[in-house]
Amino acid sequence: MSDIEKVKCLIIGSGPAGYTAAIYAARANMSPVMYQGMQPGGQLTTTNEVENFPGYPEGITGPAMMMELEAQAKRFDADIRFGFIDKVDFSGVIHKVWTDGGKEIHCETVIISTGASAKYLGLESEQKFLLNGGGVSACAVCDGFFYRGQETVIVGAGDSACEEAHYLSKLCTKVTMLVRRDEFRASKIMAERVKNTENIEILFNTETVEVIGDDVVSAVKVKNNQTGEERTIPATGFFVAIGHKPNTDIFKDYIKLDETGYVVYEKPGTSLTNVPGVFVAGDAADKNYRQAITAAGTGCMAALDAERYLAAKGH
Ligand code: NDP
């Protein structure tokens, strides 16, 4: 028993949601402990320039912003730890978690801020330009601005792809949308909006063969999966909008998730989950907005809700 650590507030995940929760919880004397997870800093560390987070008039790189958030949390003595939580037991009043090193921690409150991961096609050329920041992105709202006045390609046929294609169409001269089947998955209204947008060309039954370019993307080679015909589309940006996977697998036995794995809020407008004392923030519960600023906002809500929960228990 003596090896078991007891904490008031455990934060799982280190994106903008987790760090904001840590700042608020630390300033409320909750002595938060954060496990950063597999990708310290979260999805923003794969983004180049962040220009839409208020307070950075000149913009800031994703990794630099996450370092600043970490420094801000540490300033108030938040305990930020490298490592991840790989097992939880939320069946009792005290919430038990285990780290990847096998350490057992008993928590009065837990804030889930494990985020979501964008899905990619997995092509070698796609991954190359993703890693070098050369023109592959999974977020049109984040990166579309860099391609204004240029031609882009977007893959996907769901509501996200339609929303992002439409967003890009307002910035780019032309958007080519690659749909792998002969129909959209998106709701009719979203698909219609894309179809009725003049500078969006939709290629059905079409898959990506290769993203082409030297240091940056210059074209995309595609193939019609019915006829086998290949063609090369000039483009400086390649957007992938084929869905996200929320990082919530370890919670599934205890926390109510929707059919795609997003945490379901117990009470809309709060950060409460179905388990008292366990709260959620950021993309783990958000398939609509997925922005750093909305994640930070819900991180604040989770810390305030956790503080109120502890106060109601007499802490
Ligand atoms: P979805 O899972 O709904 O759609 C994913 C799309 O990507 C599908 O069209 C799928 O094709 C395609 N796809 C998957 N893998 C590949 C691949 N390897 N190559 C090419 N295409 C591929 O994800 P979304 O992110 O669009 O939406 C997730 C949820 O969020 C949905 O419930 C959606 O309704 C909701 N949402 C709602 C919004 C709104 O209402 N404003 C906005 C955004 C999302 P296929 O159809 O062939 O399987």
Per-residue pLDDT at 300 exceeds 60? yes
SS3 content of the chain, % helix, strand, coil (to 5): 30, 30, 40
Dihedral sign (CA 162, 165, 170, 174): negative
Query: pLDDT tens across 172-202, in order?
Result: 999 999 999 999 999 999 999 999 999 999 9
State in Å: Cα 129 to ligand 1 middle: 22
Average pLDDT value for the chain: 95
| Cα 224 → chain centroid | 31
Q: Supply the pLDDT for residue 48.
A: 67
Query: pLDDT tens across 12-21, in order?
Result: 999 999 999 9
Q: Residue 159 region, left (φ>0) first, then alpha (ψ -120 to 50), else beta?
A: alpha
- Give the integer Cα–Cα distance in Å for 296 and 303: 11
**Burial of 226 by CB count in 10 Å (0-12 exposed, 13-18 middle, 19+ buried)?**
exposed
Q: Determine the 3-state secondary structure of 285 from DSSP.
A: helix
Per-residue pLDDT at 50 exceeds 70? yes
Of all protein residues, whose CA lies closest to atom 30 belonging to ligand 1?
Answer: 287
Superfamily of domain 5-117+244-312: FAD/NAD(P)-binding domain (3.50.50.60)
Per-residue pLDDT at 134 exceeds 60? yes
Q: Determine the 3-state secondary structure of 160 from DSSP.
A: helix
Band of residue 28 on the pLDDT scale cut at 50, 70, 90: very high
| 38 contacts: CB under 8 Å, gap ≥ 6 | 84
Q: Supply the pLDDT for residue 176.
A: 98
Question: How large a percentage of the chain has pLDDT more than 70?
Answer: 98
Of all protein residues, whose CA lies closest to atom 29 belonging to ligand 1?
Answer: 287
List the chain domain ranges: 5-117+244-312, 120-240
- Give the integer Cα–Cα distance in Å for 232 and 140: 22
Per-residue pLDDT at 94 exceeds 60? yes
| Ligand 1 lined by 206 (C-beta under 6 Å) | no
Q: Which atom of ligand 1 is least distant from the CA of 181?
A: 47
The tokens of 306 are what?
A: 């956790």
pTM given for the model: 0.82
- Give the integer Cα–Cα distance in Å for 150 and 186: 25
Name the CATH topology of 120-240.
Answer: FAD/NAD(P)-binding domain (3.50.50)
Per-residue pLDDT at 54 exceeds 70? yes
CA angle 8, 14, 15 (to 5 degrees): 130
Per-residue pLDDT at 3 exceeds 90? no
